[in-house]
Amino acid sequence: MNAAQEISPVNSSPRRPVDSLDTPVRVSPEGPAPVVAAEPPKLTVKNLDAWYGSNHALHGVNLTVPPRSVMAAIGPSGCGKSTFLRCLNRMHELIPGARAEGTLLIDGQDLLSRDVDPVTLRRRVGMVFQRPNPFPTMSIRDNVAAGLKLNGIPGNHHEIVERTLRQSALWDEVKDRLDASALSLSGGQQQRLCIARALAVQPEVLLMDEPASALDPIATAKIEDLIHELKERYTIVIVTHNMQQAGRVSDQTAFFYMGDLIEVGPTEKIFTNPSEKRTEDYVTGKFG
Amino acid sequence: MPPPSDISAPAAHSTPARAGNPGDRAWGWGITIFGGSLLVVAGLILYELGRVAAPSWGQLGYFKFLFSSAWDPVQEKFGALPFIYGTLVTSGVALLIALPVSVGLALFLSEMGPRALRAPVAYSIEVLAAIPSVIYGLWGLFVMVPWLRSSVEPFLQKTLGFLPIFQGPPIGLGYLAAGVILALMILPTIASVTIEVLKTVPPSLKEGALALGATRWESIRISVLPYARPGIIGASLLGLGRALGETMAVTMVIGNSPEIHASLFAPGYSLPAVIANEFAEATGDVHVGALAALGLVLFGITLILNAIARILVEAVARGPKGSRA
C-alpha cells in the first residue's frame, strides 16, 4: 500500500511558491489557533515511531489535533505522512511486518495499547482512501448502510442513509436511484459515497488519504467544499500531495520529511512564514 | 506484396516482422493448423461417437433410451437413467462436500492462515491433485469403504435416518462412497481456482471494510466473497466437470449396479464406470451403440457445464459490470 503511494506523481505539487493568502482562502479568517486552544485536543500523538520490518519509517512524531479542525499532512513521497495516517486507525497493522510504538490518544484514551481492539478503534476513526473503493456488489444505499449493519445497528437505516448522503453532498444526485449499483456513479460521486459510508457510523475522527488525487478538478473542488462542511462536526486529518489543497482545506499543516515531523503549525504560518528552512524549501517548491 | 528485400532477408532477424512477410505467413499458417487440429479432433470424437451410437440409439428410441431405467444387455434392454442418476448424484455429493472445504482452504491460504502454514498446505493441495485416480480407488475400497460401513453410515442412519437418503442397509459401497472419493479428487481443482479468484479481489475493498470497523471475517463476508462469488461458482463447476467424468476411482467404490435408489448408502452406477466396465465385453452392435450413446450423454453434460464455468470465470476476471477500474 505504501508502494502505491510512492508511485503517485511527485510533480503534482506546484513548482512555484504557494501563497495561501493569494488563493481563495478558506482558512478560517480569525485564525484557527486561538479559537481551538481553549479546548483539549481531540487527537494527541506522542513519540509515535513506525517501522516496516527494519525500515524505520516514522521517527518520534509529536502533535495534537484540536477537535473540529482539519490537519493536513504534507511532504514528498515516502516522507511518512501516509504511514502516520494509517497508524491513527491502526490500518498499518494490515501490512506484514509493520508496527508502531508510541502513544496515540483520542480524548485522552490510548488507542495503540494492546488492550484496544483495532476493530473498535476503526469504528471511532473512519477512513477515506486514495481511490474510491465502494463495495461493487452493493447498491448505493447498502454501501452507506454497510457500517451500520456491521455495528449491528438495528432497524430501518433510511434516515441515517439520507442524512449521511446529505452530509456528503451526494443526496440530490442519487436520491432517485439509491438501489442502483455503486459502480454506476462517477469517480467523484463514488468518493463522496465512500465519505458517506465512513460518516454513517458517526466516527469522531475522519482520516483522508489523498482523497482527491484520483479525481478531476471539479470533483476535487466538491470534496474540498465537503471537507469544509464536515469540519463543523468532525476532526479531520488529511494527507495530500497537493500543497494548494492543503492551503485551501486545512487549519493546521504538518510537514513530514524522511520520516520526521519537521514542523507543524497553523497552515498560514507554514505556507508564509515557516520556522524551518526545509519546510520553506518544500512549500516554495525548491524540492519535492 | 512485400518488397523484394524482405523476401531475401531472414524473417526473424533485424527486419521487423510485417504483415505479408512470407516467413510470417508460413508461421501463421503453421500455428493455425496446430490450433485448428484441436477443433478437428474434438469434432471427430463427437462424430465418431455419434456414428457408433446413432443406429442403436435410434432403434431403442431417443426418449426411451434417456429415460428408461432398465439396463440388461442380455435381453438388449438399454436405459441410460440409472447411469445419469448415479453420475449426477455422486457428483452432487462430491460438490456439496468439496465446495465448503475448498473455499475454506482458499480463504485460509489467501486471507487468514498463519504465513508459516500456508506453503505446506498449498503443497499438500498439489500433492492431492497429483495422486492417480486408481490410488484413490484402492484407498477408497480398502480403507474408506469399511470405515463408511462400520462408522459413518450407521451414525448418519442414527442421527439423520428420517431422511430417505440415509436409509437402508449400510453397505459401504455406493453413492456416498463414490461421492466422498470424488470430493477428495475435485477439492484441489476447486481450491486452486478459488485461490486465483480471491487474488483478483482488490485489496482496497478489504481495506474499505476494515476501515469501517469490520473484523477480518466480516471483511471477507461483505467485501471478498461477494466480489469473488461468480468465480467461485465457476471453480465449482470446473470441479463438477471433473467429478462427472471421473472413471476409475468411482468404478471401484460405487458398487456397479444399474439401479436407482434414493438412499446414498445403496450401490449405483455412473456413466463413465459402465462404459469402462462393459465396452471391452460388449457383444452386439446395439450394446456398443448404447455405450457410445452414454458417452455422448456424458460429453453433452460436461460440455454444458464447462461452458457455464468458462463464462462465470471470465465474468469475474473482467470484474463486476460497469466497473471503471
Q: What is the 3-state secondary structure (H, E, C) of chain A?
A: CHHHHHHCCHHHCCCCCCCCCCCCCCCCCCCHHHHHHCCCCCEEEEEEEEEECCEEEEEEEEEEECCCCEEEEECCCCCCHHHHHHHHCCHHHHCCCEEEEEEEEECCEECCCCCCCHHHHHHHEEEECCCCCCCCCCEHHHHHHHHHHHCCCCCCCHHHHHHHHHHCCCHHHHCCCCCCEHHHCCHHHHHHHHHHHHHHCCCCEEEEECCCCCCCHHHHHHHHHHHHHHCCCCEEEEECCCHHHHHHHCCEEEEEECCEEEEEEEHHHHHHCCCCHHHHHHHCCCCC
Q: What is the pLDDT of residue B19?
A: 59
pTM of the complete model: 0.76
**Least CA distance to A193: which residue of chain B?**
B208
Determine which helix (DSSP H) or strand (DSSP E) holds B232, and give its type and residue range: helix B225-245
Assign domain B64-318 to its CATH superfamily: MetI-like (1.10.3720.10)
Are A111 and A191 in contact by the 8 Å Cβ rule? The answer is: no
B268 vs B90: CA distance, rounded Å: 9
- Closest C-alpha among B184, B52, B13 to residue B105: B184
B90 vs A18: CA distance, rounded Å: 72
A180 vs A190: CA distance, rounded Å: 12
Are B53 and B293 in contact by the 8 Å Cβ rule? The answer is: yes
Nearest to B208 among A129, A151, A184 (CB): A129
Q: What is the pLDDT of residue B295?
A: 93
- Closest C-alpha among B20, B21, B11, B78 to residue B285: B78
How open is the CA angle B150-B153-B155, to the nearest 5 degrees? 90
Mean pLDDT by 10 residues, chain A (288 residues): 41 41 44 54 91 91 93 91 92 88 88 84 91 92 91 82 90 92 92 93 92 88 91 93 91 93 93 91 83
Contact across the interface for B207 and A123, Cβ inside 8 Å: no
Contact partners, residue A262, CB within 8 Å, separation at least 6: A75, A255, A256, A276, A278, A279
Interface test with B, best of A123, A124, A130, A137 (most B CBs within 10 A): A137
**Least CA distance to A200: which residue of chain B?**
B212
Q: Predicted ipTM?
A: 0.80
Quickly list DSSP for B69-84: --EEGGGTEE--HHHH
B218 touches chain A (CB under 8 A): yes
The cell numbers describing B322, all together, are: 460497469
Q: How many residues does chain A have?
A: 288
Q: What is the pLDDT of residue B324?
A: 37
The cell numbers describing A54, all together, are: 527494519
- Residue ranges covered by each domain of chain A: 2-9+29-135+205-283
For residues A7 and B135, which has the higher predicted lDDT (pLDDT)? Answer: B135
Task: List residues bridging with B78 in a β-sheet.
Answer: B71
What mean pLDDT value characterizes chain B?
A: 87
A181 vs A134: CA distance, rounded Å: 10
Grid coordinates 524540492 are at which residue?
Answer: A287
A183 vs B contacts (CB less than 8 Å): 320-324
**If you average pLDDT over residues B154-160, what whole number do you get?**
92
Q: What is the pLDDT of residue A15?
A: 39
Residue A66 — φ and ψ, nearest 5°? -70, 155
CA atoms within 13 Å, Cβ hemisphere of B70: 8
Contact partners, residue B35, CB within 8 Å, separation at least 6: none
B211 touches chain A (CB under 8 A): yes
Buried b (16+ CB within 10 A) or exposed e, B100-111: eebbebbbbbbe
Interface test with A, best of B207, B212, B219 (most A CBs within 10 A): B212
A191 vs B99: CA distance, rounded Å: 36
User: pLDDT category, B40, cuts 50, 70, 90?
Assistant: very high
CA atoms within 13 Å, Cβ hemisphere of B77: 10
Contact partners, residue A151, CB within 8 Å, separation at least 6: A123, A201, B213
User: pLDDT category, B319, cuts 50, 70, 90?
Assistant: low
A1 vs A5: CA distance, rounded Å: 7
Q: What residues in chain A have their Cβ under 8 A from chain B's Cβ atoms?
A: 1, 89, 91, 94, 96, 119-120, 122-123, 126-127, 129, 131, 133-138, 146-147, 149-151, 181, 183-184, 187, 194, 197-198, 201
Number of helices followed by number of strands (H, E) in chain B: 15, 2
- Residue ranges covered by each domain of chain B: 4-60, 64-318
**Least CA distance to B223: which residue of chain A?**
A135
Q: What is the pLDDT of residue B142?
A: 95
pLDDT at B164 over 70: yes
Signed CA dihedral, B200, B204, B205, B206: sign only: positive
Contact across the interface for A133 and B207, Cβ inside 8 Å: yes
Contact across the interface for A135 and B212, Cβ inside 8 Å: no
- Closest C-alpha among B221, B220, B222, B214 to residue A122: B214
The cell numbers describing B147, all together, are: 470405515
The DSSP symbol for B15 reads S
Are A36 and A69 in contact by the 8 Å Cβ rule? The answer is: yes
Radius of gyration for the alpha carbons in chain A, expressed in angstroms and rounded: 18
B226 touches chain A (CB under 8 A): yes
**If you average pLDDT over residues B102-129, what whole number do you get?**
88
Question: For A2-9+29-135+205-283, CATH number?
Answer: 3.40.50.300
Contact partners, residue A31, CB within 8 Å, separation at least 6: A266, A268
**If you average pLDDT over residues B245-269, what whole number do you get?**
92
Q: What is the pLDDT of residue B110?
A: 87
Contact across the interface for A138 and B210, Cβ inside 8 Å: no
Q: What is the pLDDT of residue B316?
A: 65
Q: How many residues does chain B have?
A: 325
pLDDT at B11 over 50: no
The cell numbers describing B155, all together, are: 451414525
